[in-house]
Amino acid sequence: MLNYQELIKKAKDKGFSDLEITEYGSETLEIQVYQGKVSEHTESKIKKVSIRAIYQNKMANLSIEDLNMNIDLILDKLKENALILSTNEQYEIYEGSSSYPKIKLKENDFNKVSIQDKIKILIDLESKLKEKDSRIIHVPSLGYEEDITTHRIINSKNLDIEKQGKYCAVAMQIVAKEDDDIQSGYEVEVKERFDELDFASLIDKITTRVLSMLKAKPVPSKTYPVIIENEAMADLFSTFISIFSGETKIKQITPLLNKENQKIMSDKISIIDDPMKEDCIFKDPFDDEGVACYKKEIVTKGVFNTFLHNLKTAKYFNTTSTGNGFRMGGAIGVSGANTYIEKGTKSKEELISSLKEGLLITELAGLHAGVNAISGDFSLKSSGYYIENGKIIRPVTLIVAAGNFLSMMNEVEEVASDLKMTLSRVGSPSILFKGLSISGI
């Protein structure tokens, strides 16, 4: 087993100015059922280590899964990786924050339900989905996952911190058919405890949504008042969240250059990054550089306050890290953690009832191909419902919603109270926009 303190000591002896070890542990269970049988059952217990070290003012990175790897070989590889670099950037290993927030984890109940009982629950769910309505013809995917994680950072500046997390999730997909029309849908529910999973509610949600979309057709092309539902709005927001990153500011590929302390959105919009948000499954008392995380308002009533920073981008702009240095693949970049648009006071139903004519968009497709995060422009295949005289009249599909993100965020009529956080840790309530260009028939 790798001796971390010996690795740090030998690194100093071999000329490294600083070294940091990040240890990841994960215990995972995955179950998939198909047509009444278990199609996949995987249990894994993984521990891996990522090492960062500064040699001759250059930062080297190395990831290892063999924790019995020879220390001298590790240091030789790190030295080799450092010497390859030609950048003149200045790097640092963080000495640690003065204090860190505490995570309050709920008691783990995953082991209170046996694997056989979990399999039985999934098979029963599959049957109930098929029995819900004769138009449901297929359940192509139904699975359960649970994961318990640990994340520890140890470095040559005497930092030694650790955080834990856990979640369980059920995900399902169904296909429904009426005459020649086929619709499908996917839903997932993530909770901190098994006994918090609401299987009946999940069945109702997915079947209601998919069945209500049968016989959907497009609407005439024009500009409509549009409500983008919470999950769809969170997905759209997530594709533009990089505009708030200090990395995009360095590269000058954000539309927010030189706009700090300026109004960039409607005064109905506030955007918050809260890594310790109480009602979120995933929480971070510190980022992947060991900087303490904290709640911050990126936008307050339409006014842009701050970019998000890691240590590197903060140093570039002579400011301090906002605790948003997270590993993205191998390197540490800048990322939000529980970043969301603040909720309003009205329900989604009140937004719907306020429209004489408009659309409720519940799904946006092609979010990567149809979005330009630099310009803010988007053009996305969409589906949802047509609204007339304050009521949902029929389902809508085969339409394209197009606009500019920042322009749209300045045309906000109302923000609903139904804030929803997604698995990507980005959240939004449903939002009513004054007008959005829709291409249909």
- 310 shares a domain with 246: yes
Whether residue 120 is predicted with pLDDT greater than 80 in this model: the reply is yes
Whether residue 330 is predicted with pLDDT greater than 80 in this model: the reply is no
In the prediction, which pLDDT does 156 show?
Answer: 97
- Show which of 319, 341, 363 is a domain's final residue: 341
Question: Which tens digit of pLDDT belongs to each residue from 180-222?
Answer: 999 999 999 999 999 999 999 999 999 999 999 999 999 999 9
Average the pLDDT over 416-424 and give the result.
95
- 401 shares a domain with 374: yes
- 391 shares a domain with 269: no
Provide the 8-state DSSP code for 244: G
In the prediction, which pLDDT does 369 show?
Answer: 87
**pTM here?**
0.94
Provide the 8-state DSSP code for 366: -
In this structure, are residues 21 and 159 in contact, taking their beta carbons and an 8 Å threshold?
no
3 φ, ψ to 5°? -90, 105
Query: Strands 426-428 and 339-341: what pairing?
Result: parallel
Question: Which tens digit of pLDDT belongs to each residue from 78-101?
Answer: 999 999 988 777 788 999 999 999
Q: Range of 280's domain?
A: 241-341
- 232 shares a domain with 275: no
- 304 shares a domain with 383: no
With H, G, I as helix, E, B as strand and everything else as coil, classify residue 131.
Answer: helix
- 333 shares a domain with 399: no
Give a yes or no: residue 209 inside a domain. Answer: no
In the prediction, which pLDDT does 364 show?
Answer: 96
Euclidean distance between CA atoms 382 and 198, whole angstroms: 28
In the prediction, which pLDDT does 329 show?
Answer: 73
In this structure, are residues 24 and 45 in contact, taking their beta carbons and an 8 Å threshold?
no
In the prediction, which pLDDT does 125 show?
Answer: 97
Average the pLDDT over 131-136 and give the result.
96
Give a yes or no: residue 230 inside a domain. Answer: yes
- 247 shares a domain with 233: no
In this structure, are residues 374 and 416 in contact, taking their beta carbons and an 8 Å threshold?
no
- 317 shares a domain with 258: yes
- Show which of 323, 341, 359 is a domain's final residue: 341
The beta strands (E) that lie in 329-411 are given as 331-334, 339-341, 357-365, 377-388, 391-404
- 418's CB contacts (< 8 A; 6+ apart) are 230, 343, 347, 348, 429, 430
Give a yes or no: residue 319 inside a domain. Answer: yes
Question: Which tens digit of pLDDT belongs to each residue from 238-289?
Answer: 999 999 999 999 999 999 999 999 999 999 999 999 999 998 999 999 999 9
Euclidean distance between CA atoms 425 and 351, whole angstroms: 25
- 418 shares a domain with 331: no
- Show which of 287, 314, 341 is a domain's final residue: 341
Determine the distance from the C-alpha atom of residue 220 to the mean position of all C-alpha atoms in its chain, rounded to a whole number: 34
> Total domain count for the chain?
2
Name which of 1-5, 191-195, 334-338, 411-415 the model is least confident about: 1-5
Mean pLDDT over the full length of the chain: 95
In the prediction, which pLDDT does 67 show?
Answer: 87
